[in-house]
């Protein structure tokens, strides 16, 4: 079963605008990761944030984590048409020995040129 | 390219047939995962190997499913007596021995059961 949900389910923006996606989860986590999946392709790891971190940056990506609210957000700045993809958050549970990932339902982002 | 590879990329089979998929992880990674993804959903965990040992299996993995990782290198996932509900994308991922354990995914095998 899915760990949580992402919001919105779909998002359409113009090139150059910022895109924000939110993720909620249910249980205590060790870390939270964001992945991108282009149509028909595999998942690409974007960024990992540990449970003791609150914010992390990587290029045009900014991730925040609020463990008290069990939520995370992914901000993509200055979006490009190539950012069009599905974005998934995935959590690795606290105390889990395997570090298996539990994925959310995904946000489908469409960036219009 | 030294990423995770999967074979075949597509498989069409008739209900009741057996199928086997292969995953080759990144060579220095000792952790290997199988996930299943259906249309419009996020991937769901199936099973995990650390080296050659299968340490966790999801309840999604019925008796018809079996996975192996001989010698801790490549892995195979076999589905016996396939059912239409098995139609999905089967994803393999690997991660390094040491944390923080980001996972690197292969392109997946898309299974269609007719």
Render pLDDT for A7-49 as a digit per residue (tens, 0 to 9): 899 999 999 999 999 999 998 888 999 999 987 668 999 999 9
Residues of B contacting chain A (CB within 8 angstroms): 4, 31, 33, 35, 40-45, 48, 50, 55-56, 91, 93, 95, 99-108
Give the Cα separation of B110 and B114 in Å (integer): 13
Q: Describe chain A by its helix, strand, coil percentages, rounded to 5.
A: 5, 60, 40
Length of chain A: 113
Cβ proximity of A36 and A87 under 8 Å: yes
pLDDT of the residue at B60: 82
User: Is the pLDDT assigned to residue A95 strictly greater than 90?
Assistant: no
Higher pLDDT, A109 or A1: A109
DSSP one-letter string for B46-113: EEEEETTEEEEE-TTS-TTEEEE-GGGS-EEEEESS--GGG-EEEEEEEE-SSTT---EE---EEEEE
Give the Cα separation of B100 and B89 in Å (integer): 26
pLDDT of the residue at B40: 87
Count of C-beta atoms within a 10 Å radius of residue B55: 13
SS3 B37: strand
Chain A residues within 8 A of B99 when measuring between CB atoms: 99
Cβ proximity of A37 and A44 under 8 Å: yes
Residue B28's pLDDT band (boundaries 50, 70, 90)? confident
User: Is the pLDDT assigned to residue A64 strictly greater than 90?
Assistant: yes
- Arithmetic mean of pLDDT over chain B: 93
Chain A residues within 8 A of B35 when measuring between CB atoms: 101, 103
Q: In this structure, which long-range contacts are made by residues B16-19, counting pairs with CB atoms below 8 Å and at least 24 apart in sequence?
A: B16/B81, B16/B82, B17/B81, B17/B82, B18/B78, B18/B79, B18/B80, B18/B81, B18/B82, B19/B78, B19/B79, B19/B82, B19/B111
Residue B33's pLDDT band (boundaries 50, 70, 90)? very high
**Nearest-by-CA chain A residue for B110:** A40
Pick the closest to residue A65 from A33, A98, A105 (CA basis).
A33
SS3 A21: strand
Cβ–Cβ below 8 Å for A42 and B44: no
**Nearest-by-CA chain A residue for B90:** A42
SS3 B6: strand
SS3 A23: strand
Q: Poorest-confidence range of A5-19, A96-110, B21-35?
A: A96-110
Q: What is the mean pLDDT of residues B63-73?
A: 93
């Amino acid at each position: 079963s899915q760990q949580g949900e992402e919001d919105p389910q779909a998002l359409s923006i113009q090139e150059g605008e910022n895109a924000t996606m939110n993720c909620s989860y249910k249980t205590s986590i060790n870390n939270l990761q964001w992945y991108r999946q282009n149509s028909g392709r595999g998942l690409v790891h974007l960024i990992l944030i540990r449970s003791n971190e609150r914010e992390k940056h990587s290029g045009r990506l900014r991730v925040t984590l609020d463990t008290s609210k069990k939520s995370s957000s992914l901000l993509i700045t200055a979006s490009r048409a190539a950012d069009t993809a599905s974005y998934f958050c995935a959590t690795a549970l606290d105390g889990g020995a395997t570090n298996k990932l539990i994925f959310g339902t995904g946000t489908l982002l469409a960036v219009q040129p | 390219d030294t990423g995770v590879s999967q074979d075949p990329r597509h498989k069409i089979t008739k209900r009741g047939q057996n199928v086997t998929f292969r995953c080759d992880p990144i060579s220095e990674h000792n952790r290997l995962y199988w996930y299943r993804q259906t249309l419009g959903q996020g991937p769901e965990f199936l099973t995990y190997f650390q080296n050659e040992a299968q340490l966790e299996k999801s309840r999604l993995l019925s008796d018809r499913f079996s996975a192996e990782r001989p010698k801790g290198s490549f892995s195979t996932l076999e589905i016996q007596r396939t059912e239409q509900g098995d139609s999905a994308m089967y994803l393999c991922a690997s991660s390094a021995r040491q944390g923080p354990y980001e996972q690197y995914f292969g392109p997946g095998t898309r299974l269609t059961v007719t």
